[in-house]
Amino acid sequence: MDLHNVWECGRDGATSGIGRAAVHRFVKEGDHVISGGRSQTKGMQLFQESDSNGYIGCVDFFQADIANETEVIQFYKELSMTFSSIDVLVNNGEIAPPAAGELERITEDEWHKLFNTNVEATLWMMKHGIKHMDRKKGASIINLAATTGVTTHLPTLAAYSASKKSSTCVINKIIS
């Protein structure tokens, strides 16, 4: 199997849930996963798990808040010093709380945090990641998004659903 540089990114996307499982799967298959997230502690746990499981691939973790464009630029700058290109970029970061609940109780700060994470983080990772991808070699972007952006859900998920729909719209416009 060819070694691929898989960049798995999210606010906590690579260190929990589906993102964590994806990292394990890629590394088990022999890929080199470069993961990013906010928690250095969780990132180190991910590295140690990969090592202790005897996977044939490897994982590196870089701490970054990808909802912040400046940190995304710095993230890619640091990584490009070591890695020549991205083969696969996986965007898997999102939050639901604190914006789960009735729309009228959500504060402006909660709304902004929700959209910064669920929409802008994906945009920043794609915008700056594309520059490091070789499309001629079949580089890919995988964006994971909840179904709430494309289906009808409870009114208590209105803000979250709006953020996921916005994320889906940004993704669709970039790839079209």
Q: What is the pTM of this model?
A: 0.82
> Would you put residue 116 in left (φ > 0), alpha (ψ -120 to 50) or beta?
alpha
Q: What is the mean pLDDT of each run of 10 residues along the chain (176 residues)?
A: 51 70 87 83 85 85 88 90 84 74 85 89 89 84 75 76 83 73
pLDDT at 74: 93
The CATH number of the domain covering residues in 5-175: 3.40.50.720
Q: Rounded to whole angstroms, what are the CA distances from 114 to 54, 82, 156, 161?
A: 37, 32, 14, 10
Helix axes 40-52, 17-28, angle to 10 degrees: 40
Per the CB < 8 A criterion, the answer to whether 79 and 92 are in contact is no
Q: How far apart are the first and last CA of the chain?
A: 31
Query: What tokens were used for 77?
Result: 């700058």
Helix (H) or strand (E) holding 123: helix 121-129
Round to whole Å and give the CA distance between 81 and 70.
Answer: 17
